[in-house]
Amino acid sequence: MDNFVEEISTKLDPGAIVRDPELIAAFTTDWTRRVSGKCDLLVRPRDHQGVLDVVQAAINHHIKLQIQGGNTSLSGGSVPLEGEVLLSLGRLCARCAVDPDTLVATVDAGVTLERLQREAMKYNLTLGVDLASRGTATLGGMAATNAGGLHVLRYGSMRSSVISLRCVWGDGTESPRSAPLIKDNSGISLTPLIVGSEGTLGVITELTLRLVPVLNSKAVAMVPFVTIADAVAFAGKVRRMTEAVSAIEMISRRAIRIVEEVKGVVFPIRETFEVAVLLEISSNAGAGDELMEILQGTLLAPQLQSTLLGIDNTSWSGLWQWRESITESIQRVGEPLKLDLSVPVSALGDLWRAVDEVQSDLAGGLDVIRFGHLGDGNIHVNLLAEEEVLDLAEVEIYRRVAELDGSITAEHGIGTLKKEFLSLVRTEWELARMRDLIAIFNPGRTLNPNVLI
C-alpha cells in the first residue's frame, strides 16, 4: 500500500489522496444503510489521466479498487467490503458541455444528472433518463449500472442515451475520447458492453450522451384501482391509444400510507384502492386535452370522478411528489431490503399475488411497500422485518420471479447483495461468458472485485 501511495502521490494533486478515517467514513456506507464496508484510503482524481494513473499503479502494486460515483447504489455495489482502495469519481466533473445543434452533451463521469439537466435546459433540451436521486447520482454511475428511472417507456434506459464513452479498462489500458457521432458503423462497439457492467470491466471517465427536446405541455393523472389486474389493463389501453405517454407509475396503498405518515399529509383519494396509477402525458401542445380524452375513453364515470388531475406545473408536480417521496419516506421508518424486480407486463398481477402469498406465509412478520414502473413491468418491493424473515422472503420472492421469466434486478444492478441469486435468472453459459469478458478487460479483478459475479 505504501508503494502504491508513493507512486500516485507524484501524479495526483494533494487533495486527491485521503487517509483521514472520519472523512472516509462518509463513503463506506451505501444509500440504503444496509451495506457498510471498510477502507483505509480514498483516492479522488480530477481527470481521465488521474484515473489511468491510479488504475495502473494499482495493477503494479496488486491493489484492489472499488469504484464509486454518487454512492446512490441500492444493491451494495458502491462501497468497499474488504479493504479495497476507494476510487471516487466525485471530483471528475469539470466538463459538462452541451452541443445544441447535434443534441448531445459531453460530460465527465462525475457530473450529476441534475447539473446536466440545468445545462441542457438552457437550450430546451434534457436527458431522457430521469431519477429521483438526480441531485446525487452521477452520469458515470448511471451508465455503469444502465439506470432506467421514470421515463424508460419513452426514452429507454441509459444504454439508449449513451452514444459513446471513454474509459480506463481493468488491464490498465485506455479507450480514446468519446465522440459525438450519431452514426458509427465501424465494427464492434464496446460502448454497449461496458454500459451496465457495474465497473467490472473498466472505469467510465467521460460520456457523450443523446439529449431530447423538452416537451412544453405536460399533464398528469392519479387514478385509483381496486386490483392490480385492473391497473395493468388500464396501462395497456393507454399505450395502445397514444405515443404521448412519458410515464405510467404504480403506487401501492401501503406506500401511500407511509408517505402520509412521514410527511404529515393526506392523500386526496379516500376511496378504497389497491394501487394508484400515475399517468403522465407529454407533448408540444394540448397534453391536458389528450389526457382527458384518454381518461374518458378508458374509465367509468365513478372512477373518473375519483381521479386526481394535474394540468398546470404546480398541480402535476404535486402529484409527482407522492411518487418521488416514497423512497425517502421508507428510509425514515426503517432500513428496507430493496428488491428491484422485473417481469413481463402481462405477469405483473401474478408477481403481485406471489408477493402477497409470501407475506401471508410469514404470518404478519413482513411489511411490504410496493411501487414502481407499471409500463415496463418493474416493481420495487421494499421489505421491512427482522433479518431472518427478510432472508426467507428474499429467497422465495426471487424464486417466484424466476418462475415468471423475470429478472431479480431491473435497474439497480446486481452489486454485491444479489450475486448469490444471479444464477436463478442467468444460465451457466451466460455466467461463463461474463467471467470470460471480465478476464479479458479486468484480468486481475483490480476493479470492483466483489461486484456482480
What angle in degrees, to the nearest 10, is found between the helix axes of 48-60 and 2-9?
150
Q: Residue for cell digits 391536458?
A: 288
User: So what's the pLDDT on residue 316?
Assistant: 86
Same domain flag for 75 and 41: yes
User: So what's the pLDDT on residue 246?
Assistant: 93
User: So what's the pLDDT on residue 149?
Assistant: 84
User: So what's the pLDDT on residue 180?
Assistant: 83
Domain that holds residue 106: 96-213
Model confidence over 122-153: pLDDT tens digits?
A: 999 999 999 888 999 999 999 999 998 888 98
Same domain flag for 355 and 274: no
User: So what's the pLDDT on residue 73?
Assistant: 85
Q: Is residue 172 part of a domain?
A: yes
> Above 90 in pLDDT, residue 6?
yes
> Above 90 in pLDDT, residue 409?
yes
Q: Is residue 59 part of a domain?
A: yes
Model confidence over 265-292: pLDDT tens digits?
A: 999 998 899 999 999 999 998 999 999 9
Pairing of strands 125-127, 104-108: unpaired
User: So what's the pLDDT on residue 7?
Assistant: 96
- Domain end call among 298, 327, 356: 327
Task: Please report, as a single letter, which amino acid is at residue 445.
Answer: R
Same domain flag for 137 and 53: no
* pLDDT-based confidence at residue 365 (cuts at 50, 70, 90): confident
* 3-class SS string, 293-331: HHHHHHCCHHHHHHCEEECCHHHHHHHHHHHHCHHHHHH
User: So what's the pLDDT on residue 132?
Assistant: 81
Same domain flag for 40 and 142: no
- Domain end call among 75, 91, 107: 91
Model confidence over 162-189: pLDDT tens digits?
A: 999 999 999 999 998 878 888 888 888 9
What pTM, to 2 d.p., does this model score?
Answer: 0.91
User: So what's the pLDDT on residue 183?
Assistant: 86
User: So what's the pLDDT on residue 371?
Assistant: 96
> What does the alpha-carbon distance between residue 392 and residue 337 come to, in Å, rounded to a whole number?
12
Mean pLDDT of all residues in 293-315? 91
Same domain flag for 189 and 81: no
Q: Give CA separation, 195 vs 175, 206, 238, 303, 404, in Å.
A: 14, 12, 31, 42, 26
Q: CB under 8 Å to 363, separation ≥6 — which residues?
A: none
Same domain flag for 103 and 209: yes
User: What CATH number did the domain enclosing 130 receive?
Assistant: 3.30.465.10
Same domain flag for 157 and 179: yes
Same domain flag for 189 and 225: no
Mean pLDDT of all residues in 332-361? 94
Model confidence over 216-275: pLDDT tens digits?
A: 899 999 999 999 999 999 999 999 999 999 999 999 999 999 999 999 999 999 889 999
Same domain flag for 241 and 143: no
> What does the alpha-carbon distance between residue 178 and residue 163 come to, in Å, rounded to a whole number?
8
User: So what's the pLDDT on residue 278?
Assistant: 97
Model confidence over 368-383: pLDDT tens digits?
A: 999 999 989 999 999 9
User: So what's the pLDDT on residue 36?
Assistant: 85
Model confidence over 186-211: pLDDT tens digits?
A: 888 999 999 999 999 999 999 999 99
Q: Is residue 112 part of a domain?
A: yes
Same domain flag for 223 and 149: no
Question: Closest Cα partner for 141 from 110, 104, 178, 108?
Answer: 110
Number of structural domains found in the chain: 4
User: So what's the pLDDT on residue 32?
Assistant: 74
User: So what's the pLDDT on residue 269?
Assistant: 93
Same domain flag for 36 and 137: no
User: So what's the pLDDT on residue 34?
Assistant: 76
Q: Is residue 437 part of a domain?
A: no
C-beta separation of 191 from 247 below 8 A: no
Same domain flag for 133 and 202: yes
Q: CB under 8 Å to 71, separation ≥6 — which residues?
A: 27, 30, 31, 78, 79, 136
User: So what's the pLDDT on residue 270?
Assistant: 87
Q: How much is the mean pLDDT over the chain?
A: 94
- Domain end call among 91, 121, 143: 91
User: So what's the pLDDT on residue 447?
Assistant: 98
* pLDDT-based confidence at residue 312 (cuts at 50, 70, 90): confident
User: What CATH number did the domain enclosing 342 receive?
Assistant: 3.30.70.2740
Mean pLDDT of all residues in 354-372? 92
Q: Is residue 450 part of a domain?
A: no
Q: Is residue 184 part of a domain?
A: yes
Q: Is residue 452 part of a domain?
A: no
DSSP structure class, residue 175: P
Lowest mean pLDDT among 24-28, 347-351, 440-444: 24-28
Q: Is residue 139 part of a domain?
A: yes
First and final C-alpha spacing in the chain: 26
User: So what's the pLDDT on residue 237?
Assistant: 95
